[in-house]
Amino acid sequence: MLKSPLSLGATIGILGDGQLGRMLSQAASRLGFKVVIFGPDKESPAAQVSLASKVAAYTDEAVLARLAESCDVITFEFENVPASSLDYLTGKGAVVAPSSKALRITQDRVLEKSFARDHGIGTVDFYPVDSLDDLYAALRQSGLPALLKTRREGYDGKGQVWIRSLDEAPAAYDSLNGRPSILEAKASFTREISVVAARGWDGQVKTFPIGENHHVGGILSTTLAPANVSPAVSAEAHDIAKAVLEGLDYVGVLAVELFVLDGDALLLNEIAPRVHNSGHWTQDGCWCDQFEQHIRAVAGWPLGDTSARCTIEMTNLLGADILAWPDLSAEPASRLYVYGKDDPRPGRKMGHINRIKSV
Amino acid sequence: MLKSPLSLGATIGILGDGQLGRMLSQAASRLGFKVVIFGPDKESPAAQVSLASKVAAYTDEAVLARLAESCDVITFEFENVPASSLDYLTGKGAVVAPSSKALRITQDRVLEKSFARDHGIGTVDFYPVDSLDDLYAALRQSGLPALLKTRREGYDGKGQVWIRSLDEAPAAYDSLNGRPSILEAKASFTREISVVAARGWDGQVKTFPIGENHHVGGILSTTLAPANVSPAVSAEAHDIAKAVLEGLDYVGVLAVELFVLDGDALLLNEIAPRVHNSGHWTQDGCWCDQFEQHIRAVAGWPLGDTSARCTIEMTNLLGADILAWPDLSAEPASRLYVYGKDDPRPGRKMGHINRIKSV
């Protein structure tokens, strides 16, 4: 628990050293905070723009202890940080947000969806799978096709496989190497949207306008925001985000990905306990972007203005897409963000561009 | 001379470690460049957000030589960097922009105003002063009151003194400690405006909309932009900026401060060979702000879109003004920038806030 708002010049620690940490760090600096990055890579995207970095495994207790000592608040940019590392930091007297409880629930797809249901939020039908027998039993209930995923980790389409006939079950099961899994029924959705929202230590909640997401090959390709959704869908999506934030007793920014069904019912797809790719549009579409909002929330500052200045289309630059920077940087009414990664291997998130769509 | 545009991941060196270097560094990172700060202070505002920093005097040749080796382009955020240091870097094979020639001219108020006149740009009447006799002779021509300034250095009202009667001349002269000086006739201006503009290696020029500046006690207090000036004033101001950029064979961003006289004639007040406080509004008022524009220019990238998204009022937060951050950060439709300096001594630039005035 943070006793009072962080003062100017306070130090914020960030677990995770990728582009989300980079943009969090820049937002924190803009508010006058100093930033220490904790992550496995030297000269990482986040470390490049931060006062200091500690290069270590997330489980390195000696380095975690030093981080706890040097930071006024510690947060994370990466949902696969071990929850036990957060507990260790808390045990060393550090103020950590979001909490390890929120992280534990959202790290496990079964716990996450169960949490949603317990809070009156719809999800696709789902079944824990710990054996091939479980999988066959689940498939009989889910119908086909259905999606088998690992319960933990996996993102951008990794660690998941579609099952289109019972024959495919054994190979699908084997492909996940016996890891605890979840079978999800197919959602017949018409659109995918997400809500990025924040909650402060004092319980104040603010949500950003809805984004509509388009995935290609399981990876987010574009977000258009504010999305053209009905007031009813928008209101329900915001209510869901609020229920999630409050149910998790969450402090910071999170993203809730939702399926919009025919008839506009909403199902929760996933909770990301961090700033999220589908919120990058806020950098140019809102006065307070998601990165600054997260920093404000964990620092105990007033949450910022989330109203939209204009409609933005955010496009991810994956792998070799970034090599088009000479053309991308010449486009008017747009802003290019490059993450400082060396190797543009296929599918790797190298940057994004925000383009204005309408004022 | 830069042979080809800098690639992603190239390294940019910045001489100067204050808030302008800080915001230049953040803009450079956003475009995927790595940044090395060269300046006298450890954990300076700029170093806090940069990959690396070299803490040394601007004349330290050993460290300058290492900087030349490690950077693809070197620029500066501070007009009092010794021009000889830029020459030294160039001698070591570094690509430096803006050039030492541009810096030499703009570092000396007599050379600067002579340059302006040679390029058909009006200035107040001015007289070099190297002795008390010079000063009396100058005052007979300038009339009273008149402003005595050091030829070099001095900013935010430092190193200058008004002379209201001939009796005040000796004390005024003594107050500048015998340094080479300039006497400037009083300009009867109605408004102070500035133009921030950029020129690339290829000669491309882009100007930002005009800002109207209000000073308090010799220090910039607010900039309103785009300013409410006539199309004729706007066009002439842009022409002056273009003439200055081309006359100096300049690469990068500079600011031209202008007096608007009764009847809308313009006189050049000062050229700042760097990004400028009166251009901070562009961070929230334009797609490409002055910091990104400078980085684009020196990196050989296409210059960015300088059109205004809305009208912004930028207010400097001097000294203890910054302590109002709890209220400032709670304002909607605004963005707060804090520079990461510890001691809020009177008059020190601690941050600024951009507030929307109209869309």
The pLDDT, as a whole number, for residue B358 is: 84
- Among residues A263, A40, A34, the alpha carbon closest in space to that of B49 is found at A34
Average pLDDT over residues B82-108: 97
Chain B contact set for A42 (CB, 8 A): none
* Three-state DSSP class for residue B178: coil
**Is A263 at the interface with chain B, CB within 8 A?**
no
Query: What is the predicted ipTM?
Result: 0.95
Would B106 be classed as within a structural domain? Answer: no
Chain B contact set for A332 (CB, 8 A): 287, 305, 307
Spatial distance between the Cα atoms of A66 and A50, rounded to a whole number of angstroms: 17
Q: Which amino acid is at B199?
A: R
**Is B202 at the interface with chain A, CB within 8 A?**
no
Q: Write out the DSSP string of A60-117.
A: -HHHHHHHHHH-SEEEES-TTS-HHHHHHHHHTT--BSS-HHHHHHHHSHHHHHHHHH
Q: Residue A354 corresponds to which tokens in the numbers above?
A: 């925000």
Do you know the residue count of chain B? 359
CATH number at residue B215: 3.30.470.20
The pLDDT, as a whole number, for residue A265 is: 96
Asked which of B133, B163, B185 is the last residue of a domain, the reply is: B185
pLDDT at B184 over 70: yes
Average pLDDT over residues B182-189: 95
What pairing do the DSSP bridges indicate for beta strands B11-15 and B73-76?
A: parallel
The pLDDT, as a whole number, for residue B116 is: 98
Chain A contact set for B284 (CB, 8 A): 287
Would B5 be classed as within a structural domain? Answer: no
Would A111 be classed as within a structural domain? Answer: no
Where residue B157 falls among pLDDT bands split at 50, 70, 90? low
**A256 and A336 fall within a common domain:** yes
Per-residue pLDDT 10s for chain A (359 aa) are 899 999 999 999 999 999 999 999 999 999 999 999 999 999 999 999 999 999 999 999 999 999 999 999 999 999 999 999 999 999 999 999 999 999 999 999 999 999 999 999 999 999 999 999 999 999 999 999 999 999 998 766 678 999 999 999 999 999 999 899 999 999 999 999 999 999 999 999 999 999 999 999 889 999 999 999 999 999 999 999 999 999 999 999 999 999 999 999 999 999 999 999 999 999 999 999 999 999 999 999 999 999 999 999 999 999 999 999 999 999 999 999 999 999 999 999 999 999 999 87
Q: Which residues pair with B146 in a beta bridge?
A: B163, B185
Q: Residue B69 corresponds to which tokens in the numbers above?
A: 């080796």
pLDDT at B139 over 80: yes
The pLDDT, as a whole number, for residue B77 is: 97
- Among residues A67, A99, A85, the alpha carbon closest in space to that of A252 is found at A99
A26 to B31: CB separation less than 8 angstroms, yes or no: no
Average pLDDT over residues B33-48: 96
Q: How far is A88 from chain B (nearest CA, A)?
A: 28
**A214 and A301 fall within a common domain:** yes
Spatial distance between the Cα atoms of A16 and A335, rounded to a whole number of angstroms: 25
Chain A contact set for B359 (CB, 8 A): 359
Phi, psi of B335 (to 5 degrees): -135, 135
Average pLDDT over residues B324-331: 97
Q: How far is C-alpha A244 from the chain's CA centre?
A: 14
Contact B181, B148 (CB under 8 A): yes
Residues 3-32 of chain A with CB under 8 A from chain B are: 5, 8-9, 22, 25-26, 29-32
The count of other CB atoms within 10 Å of the CB of residue A45 is 26
Phi, psi of A215 (to 5 degrees): -100, 150
Asked which of B76, B96, B116 is the last residue of a domain, the reply is: B96
Chain A contact set for B49 (CB, 8 A): 25-26, 29, 49-51
Average pLDDT of chain A to the nearest whole number? 96
B296 to A49: CB separation less than 8 angstroms, yes or no: no
**B195 and B338 fall within a common domain:** yes
Where residue B159 falls among pLDDT bands split at 50, 70, 90? confident
Spatial distance between the Cα atoms of A159 and A152, rounded to a whole number of angstroms: 9
Q: Which residues pair with A129 in a beta bridge?
A: A181
Spatial distance between the Cα atoms of A59 and A263, rounded to a whole number of angstroms: 46
The pLDDT, as a whole number, for residue B217 is: 87
Q: Write out the DSSP string of A164-222.
A: -SGGGHHHHHHHTTT--EEEEEPP-EEEEEEEEEEE-TT--EEEPPPEEEEEETTEEEE
Would B4 be classed as within a structural domain? Answer: no
B31 to A333: CB separation less than 8 angstroms, yes or no: no
Phi, psi of B245 (to 5 degrees): -60, -45
Contact B355, B342 (CB under 8 A): no
In total, the C-beta contacts within 8 angstroms joining chain A to chain B are: 114
pLDDT at B154 over 80: no
Within B144-202, residue ranges assigned H as helices are 169-175
Would A112 be classed as within a structural domain? Answer: no
Show the domain range for B134.
125-185
- Predicted TM-score (pTM) above 0.95: yes
**Is A301 at the interface with chain B, CB within 8 A?**
yes
The pLDDT, as a whole number, for residue B155 is: 67
**Is B349 at the interface with chain A, CB within 8 A?**
no
**A217 and A345 fall within a common domain:** yes
**B339 and B197 fall within a common domain:** yes
Spatial distance between the Cα atoms of A73 and A13, rounded to a whole number of angstroms: 6
Angle at B198 between CA A352 and CA B299, to 5 degrees: 50
Contact A314, A280 (CB under 8 A): yes
A32 to B8: CB separation less than 8 angstroms, yes or no: no
Spatial distance between the Cα atoms of A77 and A23, rounded to a whole number of angstroms: 10
**B175 and B194 fall within a common domain:** no
CA distance between the termini of chain B: 40
Spatial distance between the Cα atoms of A278 and A221, rounded to a whole number of angstroms: 9
Buried b (16+ CB within 10 A) or exposed e, B255-267: bbbbbbeeeeebb
**A175 and A194 fall within a common domain:** no
CATH number at residue B156: 3.30.1490.20
**B219 and B342 fall within a common domain:** yes
Would A224 be classed as within a structural domain? Answer: yes
Where residue B359 falls among pLDDT bands split at 50, 70, 90? confident
Would B283 be classed as within a structural domain? Answer: yes
Chain A contact set for B309 (CB, 8 A): 309-310
**Is B329 at the interface with chain A, CB within 8 A?**
yes
Spatial distance between the Cα atoms of B58 and B44, rounded to a whole number of angstroms: 15
**A214 and A268 fall within a common domain:** yes
CATH number at residue B83: 3.40.50.20
**Is B337 at the interface with chain A, CB within 8 A?**
yes
Would B6 be classed as within a structural domain? Answer: no
**B160 and B212 fall within a common domain:** no
CA distance between the termini of chain A: 40
Q: Any residues with CB less than 8 A from the CB of B100 and at least 6 apart, and which?
A: B83, B84, B86, B87, B90
Q: How far is B339 from chain A (nearest CA, A)?
A: 6
Spatial distance between the Cα atoms of A130 and A136, rounded to a whole number of angstroms: 11
Spatial distance between the Cα atoms of B216 and B211, rounded to a whole number of angstroms: 16
**Is A94 at the interface with chain B, CB within 8 A?**
no
**A202 and A341 fall within a common domain:** yes
Asked which of A185, A205, A234 is the last residue of a domain, the reply is: A185
DSSP A32: T
**Is A162 at the interface with chain B, CB within 8 A?**
no
Domain count, chain B: 3
What residue has token string 């006497």?
Answer: B183
pLDDT at B158 over 90: no
Q: How far is A328 from chain B (nearest CA, A)?
A: 10
Average pLDDT over residues B45-59: 97
**B92 and B131 fall within a common domain:** no
Cis peptide leading into B98, omega within 30 of 0? Answer: yes
Please name the residue of chain B whose CA is at the shortest distance from the CA of residue A286. Answer: B333
Please name the residue of chain A whose CA is at the shortest distance from the CA of residue B302. Answer: A330
